Structure 1
Amino acid sequence: MLKSIHSIVSREYLGSWGKKKGRFYWRSLAWILAVSSLPGMISGFILYWVGDTRIERELHQLHASQIEKRAQNVDDQFAYLELSLAHWAFDPKFNGDLKDVNFNSAYQQAWDISKTLMVMQGSHPLAKKVELYLQRPKPVVFNPEYNLLLNQEAILPYVKNLSPVKEFFWTNWIQTPIEEPTSANVDLTLVHKLYGGSPEPFGALIVHLNRDKIINLLQTLTPYDQGETFLLEHNGNIFVSANNSPESMKFEGALKEKVRSLPVGHGSFLYKWGKDTYAVSYGNLSRIGEAWTYVSAVPVDAITAPVIFLSKLLMGVSLLLLILVGLLSWIASKRIHSPVDRLVRLFSSDTAAGDQENDEFGIIETNWHHLTRESKALQNKLEEQLPHMKESFLLQLFRGYLYSYSEQELIDRMEHFGWTVDQHQFLTVYIHLTGFSNLEGRFSQGDEGLVTFVAANIIQEFSLKRFEQADLINFHDMTIGMLVVASEDHPYTQNLREFTEEITQAINLILKMQVVVAISRSSSSIASIPDSFEQAIQALSYRKFENQNQMIDLEQLGETEVSYELRYPFQLEREIIQKMRTGEQEEAVVAVKAFLKALQENNALEIDVQTAMLTLLGSIHHAIMLSGVNPGRIYKDLNMFDELSQIREPDQMSKWFDLKVIQPYIREMEARSDYENKRMVERLMIYMQEQYMTELSLDQCAEQFGTNSYYLSRTFKRVVGKNFIDYLTELRLEKAKELLSDTEWKINEVAERVGYQHSYFNRIFKKQEGVTPTHYREISKNQ
């Protein structure tokens, strides 16, 4: 069969063009045609001949099930109405006293009855009207208004329709009994007689149903636009019909006889009427004292219409699919052969057409061996570049750029680069070189990369001797990172300490620099290496700020190592700010160096020194703003705090303050037009700091500086931001607090030292500080 398909396609459709193709092309085309068309034809036959019958049967079953459910809904509607009327009939308003009530005088009771009937009428969707009939010599009816029946013509419908002896029953209420019953004068009605404790009824509650709503309810039993539905009484009479046309009445009469001939219960059958076949479903509806039978007849064509359409559609689609399969097979064969053809052309562009027809894969195989040899040569070159790729991977791992990789993916990549990670733990080491500023003469500014390169080679040499797996990253900024992969079964602490001592001694000897080594906590997870490395970097903040060799092991770092108390030199801070305000650059730089020296006492940590220097920078910024100058304009909106936090050596910090903070500020101040006034205020402030213990006054100071008190007061307020007396009070109280904290002098002696009388000193101190001098001294000593 495949050979015949091959020959037909080749001869009839492709002609001479087909001679350019090889054997692989024609075989693939024949197989694709066979594989794609035969299953479709078989499945199409099965779907048409088997699926059509199955679907039609399922639709009939679904239709019967729907009719039963909808019939149950109809039954529930009637049952709810019966239950509601039975409940209403025993309402106290409808007791036996009604037969003797004179409603002409008891109008309130008549109004209550009318309201109750209106509520009853609105409580059920099928109810059209609810009436109360009272049997008297002069009968009364509420519908819902009170009416007195005075003539026989009005009384006759109630007498005729209430004649059955049943207490609770359904009936077709004939409005005019003397006329022939029709749909226009007959209502489906539910009646409940009222006895009120007597053997004979004195009246009745009558519920007239809305015929249109009843018909709509019955039409739900025919879910299609075609068909008939009706209800049969127990005696076989048609109680209610959804269609009263003459043709429908004939069909309903014949169908009624057929249903009565069947066993009592529910079921379904096919019924032939004229040219149409109907699917008939019937069943019982149990009502008060009797049983109704519902009958629903729907043309079979209406039920199976989707199946007929589906069959035609399936035939059309199958034909189109067959055509499409042929077209797609031809396209697929060309696409399948296309890469083979490209490979053949790529391998041998000069090969003749006849060679291609023989066997395309022969040409591919010959050239494949050639490519394999070239691939091995490239692999060798790749292995030569592997160390550089390994270093690049380690750098990305340290920096946290591989956060999107899972743990298993990281393990696979590390094993690919030659690491052994199974049952191993990981440590990161961060090495920082200090003392570069002390190497003037040997190295110049900008040689940091060269120094780091030399140190990295020294560290690499020692790491190969100490560790089985240790790899370095040179950051070229006086810092080096290292990853150590150690076995979980072997301790590493002593080995690391000896390694640290070796590299420290070597770098001290060769480079004349100091080494700070930070070692992270061990981890068994590769994904946690970036965090461990970041912790090692942050651990440098715990180094002693002096340039000395140190090792910081995070495994052993604890609170006991921070056992000193850093004292912030406030006096030197004020001196630095004062020197800057008066334009004394060299003196300000000297004060900065003294400030750093004071911080370095007691083996201060780097983190504390940096924090203190950042505080100093903040105080300088604050003082600049108080003097009316915008720091952003002076420092060109640079992030000064970030720059300062990157500096780790004292000399570099003092140089940075000189170049980046002090000089720009003094240049700005010298350029301002009111600089002389500010210099006068600064000199006044210096004078006040020297003479605060004397009886200073604004007039005295104005005379001292050759100006008047008004001008001096206004200038002082504009420059300092405070008036003269407030600044003098703050100055004296600051000095007083220092004496209270640092000396044992009596309170009156402290008051005299800062220029106050004892009694006034106590009042002003408590007013400004909120506590008395004695209490302040106690608080200061307890801190």
Structure 2
Amino acid sequence: MINILLHRLNIFMYLSPINCFIINYHLTKASNIRIIQRNVSETNTYTKDRLPMKPSFSFPFLKEKKMLIRMMKISLFASVIPIIAVGLGSYLFSSSAIQEQANKSNIRNLSTASHTIDSSLERVQRNALQLLFGSFYSTNLQEQRQKDYAGFYSTIARDLSLFQAANTEIYDVLLYTGSDDYLLSPVSGGRRIEPEDRKIIDKELAANPNFIWTTQHYPFMAQSGEHQVTLILKVPIQAARPTGLLFISLNSHLFQNLMGSFLGYDGENMMILDADGQVVAQYGTLSGVEPPPHDLFKRIHSKAGSDSFNVSWELTNYLVTPITSNFNQWTYIDMIPIKELNKQSKGIAIMTLIIVAAFLLIGLALAFWGTKRAYRPIEKLVDLVKGNQSDRSELDEMGIVMKRWTELSQTASHLQTQVNEQKPLIREMVALQALQGHFLHYTPEQLNRQFIRYHLPSVSEHAVMIIAYDQPSGREGRFFSNEKDLILFAVKNIIQYFLQNDLHGIPIHLPDDQIAVWLWKEGETEEMDDWLQRVKSSAEHLRLRLSEYLRLPVTIGISSGFDKQREMLPRLYQEAMLALRSRFINGNDRIIYYTPPTAEPDIHYRYPIEIEAHYENSLRLGDLEEAVRMLNEFARATRGVIHKSELVDMNYYHLLTATLRTAFLLGIPSEALFTPNEEDPYIHIRNFTTIHELNDWFRDRLVEPIVMNVKGKQMEEHEAMIQTVVHFIEENYHLDLSLDQCAQLCGLSSHYLSKLFKRSMDLTFIEYLTRLRIEHSKRYLEETELTINEIAGKVGYQPKNFIRVFKKHMTVTPKQYRDSTLGF
């Protein structure tokens, strides 16, 4: 209501938009009055005889002309706000543009740094793997040590020295062979393992990966800086039970020098975090002084891609630009102080201030004039709010608006009550979101809280089945086809009854008028196989009960897997949906269990193009019987080869395109096939549940109308041809005409023309020509004094033939006919 009032008021106050603020001010005052009234009323009991509120809140300055004075004062104040807002917005926009440019530059720098460091790490990793895949380190090191003790350690020392020399990024290399308690290094030689070191080494040997990058600090390794990056590889790397470890520590100055080359702002900081949020390297003014904010890593991964954001660190606001490496999932972060970016906006701020001051003076002048113009429509506004109702209360204009606001608040309270009544529906919607995979990004703790809140199972075996009813044309059920809501209500009630007595689950109304049932097993006493058998048995009883009640075919699709992980619910839902869709081929009114697809694709299938061509030709000829036969052949070819409903849809899309193309080439308008408000036929194809129904639709809605149209056009063309022949006969009946001459005139065969002529005129060609000649000869005999021979020549006969034909049709000779007409 308030939005409508403001909209109407803006129409009247188009000359002074600042006055919108004035009305908002008064509405705020009125709203505050309403809040005070409500607090006072809540201290009393809610009874029908509640005492009326005392008029302690009155605003006499809002009445009569005093409101104009108030509006003018507020207008002078309000005119400053939009102008300052525009100036501030311009300044903020320029600052934002500068930050955006800085962000793009940072992304380029971070990408370069990431690529450089990733290349170095990948090269070290590749060289280390190449070293360990050698014949020396791929065999049993303990046996080699026993065979040649001195050569064993000299080989290791030589290889590690060459490896470290070839990779300048390496700071230290340690090798633990497992045969003794020594760590071998080309830098520090050999050192005995302490008991604490032994625990660390045993832990790394028990870990799953054969090699891993880590930022963990190892006390037995030389450290090049505050943070340490180490590559750990098991030796032999291909052994099922490795006995040794190779530790490769990188020089932290590699990261420091590289990050320092990209810093361009005072106070700028750059850091690298690993996949767990631990600092790999850090460079800048705060390097080594303060750790990064504890929520920085969480905020970075809550953003999409490399979006920048602001963060406060050590009383300084920074623009943070992150990027994540694809090699090891490290996060490269650049942090620029906001104040350094804002230094570039000072010139823009001065220019903006000058422009704001100029427009401020203009705004003040217009505020006086606009306020006077704005006051006049207020009375019209109040009348509009009142409508046809009479209000004798001593309320001012804003008081009336406050009254309407009270009515809206009561309506909102009523709606809130209705929301509380819809909690079961909300639970059903949450379950639907879980099936559709909307909670996959939730952590296990978040998902557990969500399920507990809506009384859904936290840990259990799950199954999903989807129930659909089909209403074939010509078959009547218990309900009409337009009573879908009533049908679904009845189906859900029957499902609820089964769930209360046999299984545990929740029925979910799907958008396409289907019902999904999320089932779960409660308790650990029942064996899994027994529960699965009970699910199948209950599904069959449920299907029979629904089919019997609705008097319609009911199909149930059941997922194949019964998984205990809630994250697998979307997969089970998709399996049940695919099983239900397969009724297009397998038929409806049954239970369909999901069958995993075979690995072998349908590469041997060939689209029946020859059937399609024969079908199109039958449509063009108007042969209904042959077109329907080809349609059935197409269905047989499709059903016999394809085992996926999506491919069946694709085949019928091709056939629909061929049918519509044929109709277009035949000149059949689309209105003859589909009404303007009818659903798109390509979308309508998906609504059919079986191939038989789809074929019936093709026959009734496409084939028969096209054939009827073709036959109608053929009849029109034939009528036009016959009229051409008749006209030709009437113009040339005195000549020696033949059926072949007329057939050549129409471009048809004489036999086909004879059939058409007989069908149209109900006379053969010769009969019509003879009758026409006799009629003309009768006119000549009655109206002229021409001789019989002359008349025979005029009507295309020889005299003897003329007399014979005339007597055959008229039972008298031409002379006798003339004499009878003259009265002799």
Q: TM-score range by the shorter chain?
A: 0.3 to 0.5
Larger Rg: 1
Bigger relative CO (Cα 8 Å, ≥ 6 apart): 2
Structure 1 length normalisation: TM-score?
A: 0.32
Structure 2 length normalisation: TM-score?
A: 0.31
